[in-house]
Structure 1
Amino acid sequence: MVHRATGYLMLVCLVTAACLYLGPLAQLVGRRHLMVTLHEWSGISLPLPSLLGLLSADFRADLRRLNRFAVYDRQWLRAVRKRRTAPEARPAGKFNAGQKIYAGWIAGAVLVMMSTGLLMWFMGLLPSISRTSAIFVHDLLAWAITFVLIGHMRRAFEDPEARLGMRTGYVSRSWAERYHSRWLKEEGMGTVTGETEEADKV
């Protein structure tokens, strides 16, 4: 739910930003004041799903996993640099090294976007920082987030099992063994083989 709610808020941010930033789209949509209001409030609400998620022990456990870089994560990154795509060359826990880096980067980017957005919204908040500087950083980072999110969604569409896990909270054990084998070991579930593995869920 945290991921989905954050995704919806981010989508509203990006769509309304496009309606404000791109001239032809702004003319087509109109209603600039509504777009500004939606953009501001969806942006300032972005941290709320994660803050509410802290009430869940499972979410806090996932945050600890994302915040911890293991030895095998370095192996995963080396395999990516060498373009080795075999799953055994890219060991991963519940989250692989790429997901951990992405999570840290997007969290920091959201905080910077919120800060610069507030400086644009309340111009007297920090008089030492000009509105022009805030706009420059905000716009530049917005483009970076857009391209990174496109890559994020592209990877998601290439992995239907991962999308199923995001929707239902369950993945097949065979998929977990193939792409997140360290996760099974960390959870003490070991490995499974044979015809029953396709039906098993973790």
Structure 2
Amino acid sequence: MVHRATGWLMLLCLATAACLYLGPLAALIGRRDSLAAVHEWSGILLPVPSLLGLLSPDFRADLRRLNRFAVHDRQWLRDVRRRRTGPKARPAGKFNAGQKLYAGWIAGAVLVMMFTGLLMWFIGLLPFISRTSAIFVHDCLAWAIAVVVAGHMRRAFQDPEARLGMRTGHVSRSWAARHHSRWLPNEHEDAAADGPSGV
């Protein structure tokens, strides 16, 4: 639920940003003030699902997993660079190294976007930072986020079972063995650190 709510808010931010930034879309949609308000509030609400998720022990456990970078994560990145495939070539726990890097990067990007957005919204908030600088950082990072989110969605659409797992909380044992072999219980000594498999 946290992922889905955050995803919808992120897509709303990106869609309204495109309508505000790109002339043809702005002319087609109109209602600039309403779009700006939706954009601002969807941006401010972006961290809310994660903050509410902290009430769940399972979500807190997932955050701990995302924040741990183990030896097998470095091996996963090496294997990706060398284009090796298969569970033995790319060992991963519940989250692979790519997912961990993406989660950390997008969390940091959202914080920077909120900060620069608030600077633009409340112009005199920090007088030593110019509005032009805030706009420049906000716009450049928005393009980077759009590209990274598009890549994230492309990967998700290539893996229907991963999407099923996001919706239901369960995946097949064969899928887990192929993509997240260290997540399976009793497969590796550190499986307990990755928690129950949900398979």
TM-score range, shorter chain: over 0.9
CA deviation after TM superposition for structure 1 residue 187, in Å = 4.0
The normalised TM-score by structure 2 is: 0.94
Q: What percent of counterpart residues are identical?
A: 80
Over residues 52-107 of structure 1, what are the superposed CA-to-partner deviations in whole Å (9 max), with x where a residue is unaligned?
00000000000000000111001000001111122320000000000000000000
> Where does residue 174 of structure 1 map in the other structure?
174
Aligned Cα RMSD in Å? 1.5
CA contact (8 A) 2:26 2:32 kept: yes
1:107-118 pair list within 5 angstroms: 107-118=107-118
Matches of 2:178 and 2:104, distance apart in 1:
25
CA contact (8 A) 2:13 2:42 kept: yes
Higher relative contact order (CA 8 A, sep 6+): 2
> Where does residue 39 of structure 2 map in the other structure?
39
Matches of 1:108 and 1:60, distance apart in 2:
18
After TM superposition, the structure 1 stretch with the greater mean CA deviation from structure 2, 113-122 or 174-183, is: 174-183
Matches of 1:20 and 1:13, distance apart in 2:
10
The normalised TM-score by structure 1 is: 0.92
In the alignment, structure 1 residue 93 sits paired with structure 2 residue 96 = no
Count of equivalent residues = 192
* Structure 2 residue ranges without an equivalent (≥5): 186-190
Matches of 1:77 and 1:111, distance apart in 2:
26
1:191-202 pair list within 5 angstroms: 202=199
Give every structure 1 segment of 4 or more consecutive aligned residues whose post-TM-superposition deviation is greater than 6 Å: none
Judged with a 3 Å threshold, the aligned counterparts in structure 2 of structure 1 residues 9 and 188 are, in CA distance, closer, same or farther, namely closer
Q: Which amino acid aligns with 1:154?
A: R
Matches of 2:19 and 2:193, distance apart in 1:
49
Matches of 2:75 and 2:11, distance apart in 1:
33
In the alignment, structure 1 residue 67 sits paired with structure 2 residue 67 = yes
* Structure 1 residue ranges without an equivalent (≥5): 190-200
Matches of 2:17 and 2:174, distance apart in 1:
41
Q: Name the SS for the 1:89 alignment partner.
A: coil
Matches of 2:192 and 2:38, distance apart in 1:
42
